[in-house]
Structure 1
Amino acid sequence: MAKKVITGIPVSSGIAIGKAFFMNRRLYGAIPRQSIAQDLVESEAERLRQAVDCAISDLVAVREDLPKELSDHALLIDSHITILRDPKLSKSVVKYITTMQINAEWALLKAIKDTEETFAAIKDDYIRERIQDVRLMADRVLSKLMGLSSGLTAIEGRIILLAHDLAPSDTAGLEVDKIMAFSTTEGGKTSHTGILARTLQIPAIVGVSGLEDNITDGEFIIIDALKGRILVEPSEEELAHYTELQNRFETYQKSIHRNCHLPGETIDGFRVAVHSNIELFEEVAAVLDYGGEGIGLFRTEYSYMNRPSLPTEEELYEEYKELAEIMDGKKVTYRTLDLGSDKLLSQHAQISERNPALGLRSIRFCLQHKDMFKTQLRAILRAAVHGNCAMMYPMISGLRELREANKVLFEVKQDLRRDGLHFAENIPVGIMVELPSAVMTAELLAREVDFFSIGTNDLIQYSLGIDRTNKDVSYLYQPLHPAVLRSIKMVVDAAHQSGIEVSLCGEVASDPFCVPILLGMQIDSLSMNPQAIPGIKRIIRQTTMDECKTLLRRILDCRTVMKINRLVMDSIFTRFPEELTFYSSLLDLDDMV
């Protein structure tokens, strides 16, 4: 048996076997905590400013000298520079230096702790995990304050890179062909480490508790990024098992990648568009490489995060325009801002709500801040002339909100005409169906939009009344719950009866146990993370609509989640044993039954 086995969150699938190499172990345990005299307060504040300036200079230099493999990550480095330049954090640190008369390192720790507490209250996974960016930049400043090098020593041979956290700027000087895998203490499914690993197409596990305490440089380890496990000093039997599993997985990946650019079409000719969800330009390369036929959901929130002021219309226009042009005729669907008081848009951070998930967020937030909403709509409309573009509103609860949003869109179009600016007059406009009220009024909503996009992550949570990030109730998060399946079918049927298309995004779209059921409902398109596309396409191409419709009928006759899960396991796993061998390792099959 291995000396130790530690676990984390797999964010880029695969197996890696090799020696551990650590960089930037957490500094916080060794940080000096000192009181200072009143006459040293100003010099300590100046020391902080100099450390921040040096950290910014380092990042600017890294950005200008990015290796070809990481050139797409310039935008991430820009966002980190923006964090360092944000006066709020520096002011908070200086306040601690001044009022408590403590050294800059200690003051920085206190300011970061305040920021962490604020982020911890955020419901949205993606936004909450952006605290990792702030921590990364704090580490850079701490390194400067403590006179430590933030770079990497030369690497000899291929290694598995371990770190407290990673940013593209950290790895810019590396020979990426020497990195077999990543693993970090910090991070979640949407962290930049995962995006970086998927871009480089190497295994990665993040959020590993005890990573720095349980592994030392040079130890032989196995990264199992299928199940999210790290084996330290594995036994001969474990090494043999994982070597064989690694070979099988790599062979399977090559086989599905070979045909990933073929259409998602069943044996009997039913065509399903397979798109991708992204939030950063850095992911576009993966969308195209893995056979994505378009972008079914571009999350626009990132442009508003980690900055002291709102983005201008021109900034947004250039960003959206570039994305449309890069996709070169493939569809791009921009989701309008899904922000709220729980997502820390700095200009509105003073808003406090007891239950942000049910409060002023998404389209509600935009309709209360129409100037900001109009700026984004103007940018989308102008950019849409440069490609095959659509837009959709999030969290629509009924006709009133839809009509209010469309009224703002109408006013924006009038303004653009008056300004003499070229824009997409007839851009398709859809809505995210993610609330039970939208499901129940889908027939009415379908008459006033061009398409639906079912957001299953929120729909499941709102329908079942659970927070899947809450460990005490996460077991109730069941994608195949009868209420969820009936809701999805109701929306699909309402859309088709009105002659509009319906797509589905969220984790359900990339779940191979759900895809045949969705095909049976005759869903028009699926949108998922880029890495999932080849495997899902292969499943689509190996089935028939008759099979899928028969399965759907049998499932709709089931009354309980347990019976549905058992039926799905018995039928789909048996039907696609090779495809699900690796997918099933990502799931807890005991939970399904």
Structure 2
Amino acid sequence: MATKVITGIPVSSGIAIGKAFFMNRRLYGFIPRQSIAADIVSDEVARLEESIARAAAELSEVRESLPPELRDHALLIDSHITILRDPKLAKSARFYIEDMRINAEWALLKAVKDMEQAFSAIKDDYIRDRIQDVRLMADRVLSKLMGLSTGLKAIEGRVILLAHDLAPSDTAGLEVDKIMAFTTAEGGKTSHTGILARSLQIPAIVGVVGLEDNVQDGQFIIIDALKGRILVEPNEDELARYTDLQNRFESYQKNIHRNCHQPGETIDGYRVKVMANIELFEEVAAVLDHGGEGIGLYRTEYSYMNRKTLPSEDELYEEYRDLAAIMDGRKVVYRTLDLGSDKYMSQYGQTQERNPALGLRSIRFCLRHKEMFKTQLRAILRASVEGNCAMMYPMISGLRELREANKVLFEVKQELKRDGLPHASDIPVGIMVELPSAVMTAELLAREVDFFSIGTNDLIQYSLGIDRTNKDVSYLYQPLHPAVLRSIKLVVDAAHQGGIEVSLCGEVASDPFCIPILLGMQIDSISMNPQAIPGIKRIIRQTTMDECKELLRRILECRTVTRINRLVMDSIFQRFPEELTFYSSLLDVDDFV
């Protein structure tokens, strides 16, 4: 067996076999910790501020020199420059220098620790993961303070790049054809390393515990980014097995990408729109490359993060307009702000809530802060003149919230008309159906909106009463639970009876085991991460509606999730053995029994 096997979070699928190359290791274990004399405190503060300024200037230079294949990540570098220029981190470090009379390196470390504690209280994974950006920038400043280089050594041959963490600015000088895979000690599913790896279409694993202690430069390793495993110095049997798996996976990927721009249409002609979920503008390239027919969910929260002030209407307008323009007639659905006490902005402070998931969030937050809401609505309406656009409200619980939101939208349209600004006065307006109350009143809501989008991640959580991030109850997170399937079917039927389209987003949309069931319900469109689109399209094109309807009928007769899971496994594996070979490797058998 391999000398060691360590695990992490797979964020870009694939297999890589080769030598390890460490770009950097975390500096925190080597930081000098010294007390300083009172008469050099001001010099130490100056040294800190100079290092921060140099780090920001260096990033600005990197941004301007990005190679074409990384140019889409300029906005990510901008967010890192914003962190460096934000006075909070510098002010906190300066306080420690002056109050405790300690050196700048130690003071910066303490300031980062303070921010880590603040971020740890945030329940949302995406926002909590942004502390990685702060650490990255702190490492860059520490390198300046300690006189270390942040550049890359020349890489000879192809390697697997290992690092404590990576940012687009760190990889700007890379010859990307020499990088087989990324692996980092830090990061989560939403980290920039994952976005970068997916855009370059190379395997990546992040959040690897013990990476820096267990892997050395030049060691031969296998990156299994299907299961999130790293094999250090594998034996011959493991090498042969993974070489075969790598060849089969790459062959499969080439096959599905060859036809990814064909429509998602069953053998007997039922057409399903296959769209993408994105949160960053730079992900658009992946949508188009992978055959996305549009953007079914554009998460607008990112524009409000990592900044001291709210974005202006013109800033948002330019962002939304550029997105509509680059999609060139393909549909773009803007979800209005899904913010709350666990995704807060400094302008409104952090509300302490005992249960943020059930508190002041999403549409409730926007209706509480109507001027902020109006600014976003104005930007969406103005930008929608440029393309095929729609908008939807998140977490609508019933008619009252929907009507209140539409009242604000009507006021905004009147204001834009009065101001003489071009805008899409007839933009389609929909809602996210993700609460049981919305499910049970779907036929009423369908009369007052243009479309539904079923948000399965929250719908499952709220329907089954579980937090899937809680390891003690995560086993209860069952997408094929009878209650979940019946809820989805109820919403689809209500939408069609009301004469409107219904989409579905969330992890269920990219789950091959669920696709035939959704087709059987006659869903109109599905929306997923861009990388999942080619495989899902291929499954759609290889089935018939008669098959899907029969499977749905049998499933709806089942009384337990155990029986449904077994029926789905047996049916789908028999029908799509090749398509599910690699997906099934991501699953534990116990998940489906």
TM over 0.5: yes
Q: What's 1:28 paired with?
A: 28
- Deviation at 1:393? 0.6
Query: What letter corresponds to residue 286 of structure 2 in structure 1?
Result: A
Asked if the contact 1:87/1:308 (under 8 Å) is kept, the reply is no
Q: What's 1:59 paired with?
A: 59
Q: What's 2:102 paired with?
A: 102
Asked if the contact 1:341/1:348 (under 8 Å) is kept, the reply is no
3-state SS of paired residue (1:43)? helix
Matches within 5 A, 1:154-169: 154-169=154-169
Cα distance in 2, alignment partners of residues 111 and 470 from structure 1: 29
Range that drifts further, 374-383 or 43-52: 43-52
Q: What's 2:189 paired with?
A: 189
Cα distance in 2, alignment partners of residues 111 and 349 from structure 1: 20
Q: What's 1:316 paired with?
A: 316
Cα distance in 2, alignment partners of residues 480 and 275 from structure 1: 22
Q: What's 2:345 paired with?
A: 345
Q: What's 1:506 paired with?
A: 506
Cα deviation 1:229-265 (Å, max 9, x = unaligned): 1110000011111111111111110010000000000
Cα deviation 1:206-250 (Å, max 9, x = unaligned): 111111110000000011111111110000011111111111111
Cα deviation 1:551-572 (Å, max 9, x = unaligned): 1111111111111111111110
Cα deviation 1:414-450 (Å, max 9, x = unaligned): 1101110000010000111111111111111111110
Q: What's 1:150 paired with?
A: 150
- Deviation at 1:46? 1.5
Cα distance in 1, alignment partners of residues 404 and 109 from structure 2: 45
Q: What's 2:354 paired with?
A: 354
Range that drifts further, 534-543 or 395-404: 395-404
Query: What letter corresponds to residue 517 of structure 1 in structure 2?
Result: I
Q: What's 2:14 paired with?
A: 14
- Deviation at 1:41? 2.4
Q: What's 1:129 paired with?
A: 129
Q: What's 1:576 paired with?
A: 576
Q: What's 1:280 paired with?
A: 280
Matches within 5 A, 1:205-220: 205-220=205-220
Q: What's 2:531 paired with?
A: 531
Change (3 A) 1:354 1:93: farther
Query: What letter corresponds to residue 15 of structure 2 in structure 1?
Result: I
How many positions carry a matched residue from both structures? 593
Q: What's 2:400 paired with?
A: 400
Asked if the contact 1:32/1:105 (under 8 Å) is kept, the reply is yes
Cα deviation 1:13-55 (Å, max 9, x = unaligned): 1111000000121111111122223333222222111111011
Range that drifts further, 490-499 or 126-135: 126-135
Query: What letter corresponds to residue 407 of structure 1 in structure 2?
Result: K
Cα distance in 1, alignment partners of residues 280 and 513 from structure 2: 28
Q: TM-score w.r.t. structure 2 length?
A: 0.99
Range that drifts further, 389-398 or 98-107: 98-107
Q: What's 1:112 paired with?
A: 112
Cα distance in 2, alignment partners of residues 560 and 113 from structure 1: 47
Cα distance in 2, alignment partners of residues 223 and 151 from structure 1: 24
- Deviation at 1:88? 1.7
Q: What's 1:465 paired with?
A: 465
Q: What's 1:544 paired with?
A: 544
Asked if the contact 1:260/1:537 (under 8 Å) is kept, the reply is yes
Cα distance in 2, alignment partners of residues 414 and 427 from structure 1: 14
- Deviation at 1:472? 1.2
- Deviation at 1:468? 1.0
3-state SS of paired residue (2:2)? coil
Cα deviation 1:38-91 (Å, max 9, x = unaligned): 333222222111111011011000000000110111111011101111112221
Range that drifts further, 501-510 or 128-137: 128-137
Range that drifts further, 494-503 or 109-118: 109-118
- Deviation at 1:99? 2.2
Query: What letter corresponds to residue 79 of structure 1 in structure 2?
Result: S
Cα distance in 2, alignment partners of residues 93 and 304 from structure 1: 25
Cα deviation 1:356-394 (Å, max 9, x = unaligned): 111111111111111111111110000000000000011
Cα distance in 1, alignment partners of residues 247 and 444 from structure 2: 52
Q: What's 1:553 paired with?
A: 553
Cα distance in 2, alignment partners of residues 343 and 349 from structure 1: 10
- Deviation at 1:167? 0.6
- Deviation at 1:123? 2.1
Cα deviation 1:67-125 (Å, max 9, x = unaligned): 01101111110111011111122212222222222222222222212222222222222
Task: Please list every run of 5 or more consecutive structure 1 residues that lacks an aligned counterpart in the other structure.
Answer: none
Cα deviation 1:140-163 (Å, max 9, x = unaligned): 111111111111111000000001
- Deviation at 1:310? 0.7
Q: What's 1:232 paired with?
A: 232
Cα distance in 1, alignment partners of residues 106 and 343 from structure 2: 27
3-state SS of paired residue (2:271)? coil
Query: What letter corresponds to residue 394 of structure 1 in structure 2?
Result: P
Cα distance in 2, alignment partners of residues 574 and 351 from structure 1: 51
How large is the RMSD of aligned CA atoms in angstroms? 0.9
- Deviation at 1:281? 1.4
Cα distance in 1, alignment partners of residues 113 and 401 from structure 2: 38
3-state SS of paired residue (2:397)? coil
Q: What's 2:249 paired with?
A: 249
Query: What letter corresponds to residue 3 of structure 1 in structure 2?
Result: T
Q: What's 1:364 paired with?
A: 364
Cα distance in 2, alignment partners of residues 16 and 349 from structure 1: 44
Asked if the contact 1:461/1:467 (under 8 Å) is kept, the reply is yes
Cα distance in 1, alignment partners of residues 449 and 112 from structure 2: 44
- Deviation at 1:519? 0.7
Change (3 A) 1:89 1:344: farther
Matches within 5 A, 1:266-277: 266-277=266-277
Q: What's 1:475 paired with?
A: 475
Q: What's 1:300 paired with?
A: 300
3-state SS of paired residue (1:367)? helix
Task: Please list every run of 5 or more consecutive structure 2 residues that lacks an aligned counterpart in the other structure.
Answer: none
1:77 aligns with 2:73: no
Q: What's 2:260 paired with?
A: 260
Percent identity (aligned): 84
Cα deviation 1:300-327 (Å, max 9, x = unaligned): 1111110111111111100000000000
Q: What's 2:454 paired with?
A: 454
Cα deviation 1:137-195 (Å, max 9, x = unaligned): 11111111111111111100000000111110000000001000001111111111111
Cα distance in 2, alignment partners of residues 541 and 94 from structure 1: 61
Query: What letter corresponds to residue 318 of structure 1 in structure 2?
Result: E
Cα distance in 1, alignment partners of residues 107 and 350 from structure 2: 23
Query: What letter corresponds to residue 156 of structure 2 in structure 1?
Result: E
Q: What's 2:416 paired with?
A: 416
Cα distance in 2, alignment partners of residues 92 and 440 from structure 1: 50
Query: What letter corresponds to residue 20 of structure 1 in structure 2?
Result: A
Cα distance in 2, alignment partners of residues 92 and 526 from structure 1: 46
Cα distance in 2, alignment partners of residues 437 and 37 from structure 1: 64
Cα distance in 2, alignment partners of residues 340 and 570 from structure 1: 41
3-state SS of paired residue (1:221)? strand
3-state SS of paired residue (1:448)? coil
